[in-house]
Structure 1
């Protein structure tokens, strides 16, 4: 299967990552194990989690990471995957209070290592930024953790490009490891801005896109399938959408993109869901969509999408017509 090489690392990855926010909760442990096995046996290499996942549920704290840890122990597949997880997210009850002190970062990382049952995390992400904290201080903490053997590479989730450039300029000046990639929300669908409730979340815009094109920095795109907007619309129209999905994605731009995605789906003989992911994978810089798959069919379609490449003309056509 075709893979993506990320510069500045020794990583060669299938261009799709498995998101596990609901694993061990909405997706049962047994089903989670089956989906993880299917993804890895099909060539998938990145399993993505976060310390904060399921904190919104009673007794849900750490359940995603614990489920992955239990699967790793049962399957013996640690050497076949890159473990990706995120820390330093604000407490959900106090989202206005950042948690990027060295103590916060280390505490969350140690909890993740214990939950996952591993000595080292391959890809570690800071889940939110703290703009009034010097990026250099944060980079020094992360580099210390690399030297201690607790993480291999580190990235940032929901950081703006100006802060990424500040951090990586510091790393270059000091001759230390820099952020290898960024995670932000991006899909083929245009987001209705008024529907964004969490203002600490970064959604792809022109400035961020220009940064990634210019720097060729890798991007892990979350909510990469727009909560199933395109296949659900294709199958059942607007009535098939959840209210939250409709509020977030239903607009004229996306209706036009749906029509063009369906046209390319027919031309290439792949599901429309594959076109949605291929749009990201076919960008002029490394993009790895993070998929939120709850069924074996969704895993199968995502792995199929990893093989689909669109021409620059097709990508532009999807966007603009």
Structure 2
């Protein structure tokens, strides 16, 4: 398996990153442990989490994903086998204010480290921009954490192209830590949040790119064929906008190619991302061990130029 370098860091990830948003949400603790065990067996060595995951479940308050990961690392004694990424900036309250001030970052990292039961995180992301904190203040806070050994590298997610470029310029001008990884929403269903200005900035600055919602919350697996299929489910809020004519074209193209190769539609959707310009590795989640089969399929073949173009046209 060819490992992928994240930006200019010395972090090397498998071609697919496991999305820890399911831990404590659609996968309970025991299920999460099985997923992480089997993920490692496949050679996947990076988990992406956030301090607010898995806040979506009604009984949760945030931090459940980190807590389960931490208990797993403590029980398995395998911290050095994994790259752990987590994030700061979202509110633990639904609809709450974003915050990437120095004071919040310094406090939030301690909470994350306690839940993760570790002394450091490999990659710490600005989760969302608050559009008010000077970028120098945010990067200065990360500089302190890096010097203290609590964070190895930093990344950014969901920033506008303008704020991302401003942050990179400030890092260069003021000798502050540079974002090494950018994490946009990116899939066959959602391309415009990365392609264009943001993609060019990432490529010009040698940023690793690890897109999230790679399977569009399950839409691209082909499991759901209509809005009726998702009504009342945990995923309804994420999926309801995809069931239009464009969405149907994407699903048809995926099915045609997956039928031809006799592998899952999810694998095809992941391969498309893996072969797109500037992408380091997609983030993908699974709530059951058998779902990991699509990850294995995706890491063991490539799509032809013609197949890539068919998917490009369907999703364009």
Tell me whether 157-166 or 304-313 shows the greater mean CA deviation. Answer: 304-313
Residue of structure 2 equivalent to 1:297: 290
**CA shift digits 1:30-56 (9 cap, x unpaired):** 111111110012101111111111334
Residue in structure 1 matched with residue 199 of structure 2 by the alignment:
209
1:262 is matched with 255
Tell me the TM-score normalized by structure 2: 0.89
Residue of 227, 237, 250 corresponding to 2:217: 227
1:124 Cα shift? 0.7
Report the Cα offset of residue 171 of structure 1: 1.1
Matches of 2:141 and 2:190 in 1, distance apart?
A: 36
Contact 1:51–1:87 (CA under 8 A) maintained in structure 2: yes
Corresponding residue for 1:250? 243
Indicate conservation of the 8 Å contact 2:181/2:210, yes or no: yes
Aligned length: 308
Say which SS state the counterpart of residue 303 (structure 1) adopts: helix
| Structure 1: 5+ residue stretches without partners | 192-201
Q: Is the 8 A contact 1:187 1:224 kept in 2?
A: yes
Which residues of 2 match residues 104-115 of structure 1 at below 5 A? 104-115=104-115
Q: 1:295 to 1:211 in 2, by over 3 A?
A: same
Deviation of residue 29 (structure 1)?
A: 0.9
Unaligned runs of 5+ in 2: none
TM value normalised by structure 1: 0.88
Q: Say if 1:293 and 1:246 are closer, same or farther in 2 by CA, change over 3 A.
A: closer
SS at match of 2:282: strand
SS in 1 for 2:128: coil
- Does 1:274 pair with 2:267? yes
Q: Secondary structure at the match of 2:8?
A: coil
Distance 2:25 2:226 in 1: 28
- 1:144-163 correspondence runs (5 A): 144-163=144-163
Q: Give the match for residue 197 of structure 1.
A: none
Shift of 1:317: 2.2
Question: Per-residue displacement from partner, 1:78-104 (whole Å, max 9, x unpaired)?
Answer: 111101111121342453x33111110
Contact 1:45 1:80 in 2 (8 A): yes
For residues 209 and 257 of structure 1, what CA distance do their matches in structure 2 show?
22
Is 2:35 the partner of 1:47?
A: no
Q: Which residue of 2 aligns with 1:187?
A: 187
Q: Tell me the alpha carbon deviations over residues 148-197 of structure 1, each in whole angstroms, 9 at most, x when there is no partner.
A: 10000111121112211111111112333200111121111148xxxxxx
Aligned counterpart, 2:208: 218
Deviation per CA, 1:1-28: give whole Å up to 9, x if none.
1221223111221121111223134312
Tell me the secondary structure at the aligned position of residue 141 of structure 1.
helix
C-alpha separation between the residues in 1 aligned to 2:104 and 2:281? 28
CA drift of 1:277 comes to 0.6
8 Å CA contact retained: 1:274, 1:308: no
For 1:299 and 1:225, how far apart are their aligned partners in 2? 13
Q: Is the 8 A contact 1:14 1:44 kept in 2?
A: yes
* 1:12–1:91 CA distance, 2 compared to 1 (3 A): closer
1:59 Cα deviation after fit: 4.7
